[in-house]
């Protein structure tokens, strides 16, 4: 057996013996510093392989070769791939591989016929970027079709709530503390109203309000839908910034008092969008509520980005040289008082106007209800209060609610809108014998909310039995807002108030 074995080995060596001529022909004409062929098109027969990396301790998944990791990532869905891309740079490159995303593209992107595969070398994330782009465009296209119908009562898009639900849009609260630590929380509750949406967070574990530096509210917009238009489970989503507030809580609290409170919590109005509650016992955060008006809300959700809010298209001015009071008449306004869950009071006012000689200090006042008209008061049947709850507690804060306003111009376009928390402020008790006996003893209350261009004034009278009536309701518009919208020139710099004009204003 040994002799036969030697013969087999000798024959193998003779067949594979390299002659001197073959060696001379295989020598490279030029070498680089490592001894590799300078001619990159020719490969050497023998290349010295790099030694395997030294592993200290136990081996982990990061030591696997890229080819094996790619095979593992083939079992993940799109959302998991996007999450894995955030682990490290190596994983980001592998999860962006075109071989992974072309299959996802074929399953979820809308296209006619077969997908056109471009020739040549493709960028690393070509199919990923194209897939997310096509899915986003298709979703937005379907939404725009649904938003064409206008509600006859409010003048807002009729299917806003339907679109929000069908698109599966959820909301996220993101906080940043003094140490740069960012935390995110999904909304606990979502409530839809006639002209707005309410969102609430009360499961805020690990958030210390004393170190709070920034608050962000974002919408999370799914991208993948099935053939019936239903969001698939665990779909990847885009985030869009809705509102952002920079706040150093300890400094801010010294300058701002709570607007209302009960035996358990104190309410703070952070902005016209956000209401924040803290516990009386320890001053920690209890819950956060925000409200957004339906006007442009769908576009704010779908067309914004993580860092920048959606900017509406510039309004196209339609001028009118015939009407001398153009832009001062035929307004329609819908006003609603509500809490987080339900409506408290709602009414619409039509034919609103302001005469040109009644513009005082460049303020155009639209009177929805006059205080001197005692025969036509607006009863508020439900209590003005804000019910609240957390995982363990619940309660009611009185004399605070949410105000929604939609103001339409004479063409039925949304001229101005508002959704903001408001609260009542008590005034002195008045006794007016000229009034009917039923309104003899009244307690005067006021609610005001001011934005950059508009101030809303609401006056209420409360009877001894607790019945409340809205006796005065007014919108004060900066005349520059009217000039910008209608292309007029009513604003007069430095205009003084005359005695005749003060007679037309309302004093409180």
Token couple for 390: 């957390």
Q: What's residue 375's pLDDT?
A: 67
Q: Is the model's pLDDT at 117 over the cut of 90?
A: no
Q: Mean pLDDT check: name the lowest of 124-128, 382-386, 412-416.
A: 124-128
Average pLDDT over residues 481-499: 78
- Cβ neighbourhood burial of 436 (10 Å; 0-12, 13-18, 19+): exposed
Tokens 């910008």 label which residue? 484
Q: Give the orientation angle of helix 126-146 with respect to helix 98-108, to 10 degrees.
A: 20
Per-residue pLDDT reduced to its tens digit, 276-303: 999 998 889 999 999 999 999 999 999 9
Whether 331 contacts 352, CB under 8 Å: yes
- Comparing 482 with 499, the larger pLDDT belongs to 482
Using DSSP's 3-state secondary structure scheme, residue 24 falls into helix
Whether 403 contacts 456, CB under 8 Å: yes
Tokens 């013969």 label which residue? 7
Token couple for 494: 């430095």
- Comparing 91 with 19, the larger pLDDT belongs to 91
The CB-side HSE value for 140 (13 A sphere, CA atoms) comes to 13
Q: Is the model's pLDDT at 412 over the cut of 60?
A: yes
Per-residue pLDDT reduced to its tens digit, 68-82: 888 888 888 888 888
- Give the whole-angstrom CA distance, residue 61 versus residue 65: 9
- Give the whole-angstrom CA distance, residue 312 versus residue 324: 29
Distances from the Cα of 419 to the Cαs of 273, 297, 313, in angstroms? Answer: 7, 12, 20
Q: What's residue 295's pLDDT?
A: 96
Q: What's residue 199's pLDDT?
A: 96
Q: Is the model's pLDDT at 388 over the cut of 90?
A: yes
DSSP string computed for 477-507: EEHHHHHHHH------TTPPPPHHHHTTS--
Token couple for 314: 């510039």
Per-residue pLDDT reduced to its tens digit, 215-250: 999 999 999 998 888 899 889 999 999 999 999 988
Average pLDDT over residues 162-187: 92
pLDDT band at 429 (very low <50, low <70, confident <90, very high): very low
Average pLDDT over residues 293-315: 93
Q: Is the model's pLDDT at 8 over the cut of 70?
A: no
Task: List domains and CATH numbers for the chain.
Answer: 66-104 (1.20.1280), 160-302 (no CATH), 331-502 (no CATH)
Distances from the Cα of 153 to the Cαs of 157, 293, 333, 410, in angstroms? Answer: 10, 15, 10, 14
Q: What's residue 391's pLDDT?
A: 87
CA neighbor of 213 nearest in space, from 178, 251, 183, 172: 178
Q: What's residue 464's pLDDT?
A: 81
Per-residue pLDDT reduced to its tens digit, 20-61: 444 445 444 444 444 333 444 434 444 444 565 666 767 777
Instruction: Write down the mean pLDDT value for the chain.
Output: 83
pLDDT band at 256 (very low <50, low <70, confident <90, very high): very high
Q: Is the model's pLDDT at 175 over the cut of 60?
A: yes
Average pLDDT over residues 398-407: 96
In sequence order, which residues have a C-beta less than 8 Å from that of residue 449 and are 6 or more positions away? 272, 403, 418, 420, 422, 455, 456
- Comparing 207 with 427, the larger pLDDT belongs to 207
Neighbours of 337 (CB within 10 A): 20
Per-residue pLDDT reduced to its tens digit, 334-368: 999 999 999 999 999 999 999 999 999 999 999 99
Whether 247 contacts 213, CB under 8 Å: yes
């Amino acid at each position: 057996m040994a002799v036969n074995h030697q013969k087999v080995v000798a024959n193998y060596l003779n067949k594979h013996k390299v002659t001197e001529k073959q060696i001379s022909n295989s020598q490279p004409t030029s070498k680089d510093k490592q001894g590799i062929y300078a001619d990159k098109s020719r490969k050497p027969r023998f290349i010295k392989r790099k030694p395997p990396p030294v592993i200290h301790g136990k081996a982990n998944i990061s030591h696997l070769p890229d080819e094996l990791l790619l095979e593992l990532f083939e079992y993940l869905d799109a959302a998991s791939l996007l999450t894995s891309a955030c682990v490290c740079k190596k994983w980001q490159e592998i999860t962006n591989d075109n071989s992974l995303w072309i299959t996802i593209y074929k399953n979820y992107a809308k296209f006619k016929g077969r997908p056109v595969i471009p020739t040549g070398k493709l960028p690393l994330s070509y199919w990923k970027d194209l897939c997310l782009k096509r899915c986003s465009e298709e979703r937005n296209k379907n939404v725009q079709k649904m938003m064409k119908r206008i509600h006859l009562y409010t003048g807002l898009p009729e299917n806003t709530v339907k679109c929000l639900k069908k698109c599966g849009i959820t909301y996220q609260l993101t906080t940043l503390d003094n140490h740069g630590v960012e935390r995110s929380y999904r909304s606990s509750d979502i409530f839809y109203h006639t002209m707005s949406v309410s969102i609430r967070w009360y499961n805020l574990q690990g958030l210390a309000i004393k170190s709070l530096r920034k608050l962000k509210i974002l919408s999370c917009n799914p991208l993948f839908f099935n053939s019936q238009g239903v969001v698939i489970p665990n779909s990847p989503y885009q985030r869009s910034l809705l509102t952002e507030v920079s706040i150093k809580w300890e400094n801010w609290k010294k300058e701002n008092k709570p607007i209302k409170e009960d035996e358990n919590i104190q309410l703070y109005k952070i902005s016209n969008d956000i209401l924040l509650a803290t516990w009386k016992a320890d001053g920690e955060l209890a819950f956060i509520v925000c409200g957004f008006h339906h006007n442009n809300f769908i576009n704010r959700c779908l067309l914004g980005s993580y860092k920048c809010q959606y900017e509406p298209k510039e309004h196209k001015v339609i001028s009118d040289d015939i009407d001398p009071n153009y832009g001062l008449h035929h307004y329609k306004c819908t006003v609603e008082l509500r809490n987080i869950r339900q409506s408290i009071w709602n009414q619409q006012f039509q034919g609103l106007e302001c005469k040109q000689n009644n513009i005082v200090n460049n303020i155009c006042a639209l009177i929805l209800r006059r205080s001197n008209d005692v025969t036509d008061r607006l009863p508020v049947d439900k209590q003005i209060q804000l019910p609240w709850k957390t995982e363990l507690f619940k309660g009611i804060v009185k004399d605070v609610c949410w105000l929604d306003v939609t103001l339409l111009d004479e063409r039925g376009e949304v001229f101005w809108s508002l959704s903001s928390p408001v609260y009542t402020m008590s005034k002195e008790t008045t006794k007016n014998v000229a009034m009917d006996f039923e309104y003899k003893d009244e307690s005067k209350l006021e609610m005001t909310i001011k934005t950059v261009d508009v101030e809303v004034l609401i006056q209420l009278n409360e009877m001894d039995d607790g019945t409340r009536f809205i006796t005065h309701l007014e919108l004060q518009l900066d005349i520059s807002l009217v000039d910008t919208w209608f292309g007029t020139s009513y604003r007069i710099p430095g205009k003084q108030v005359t005695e005749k004009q003060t007679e037309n204003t309302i004093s409180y």
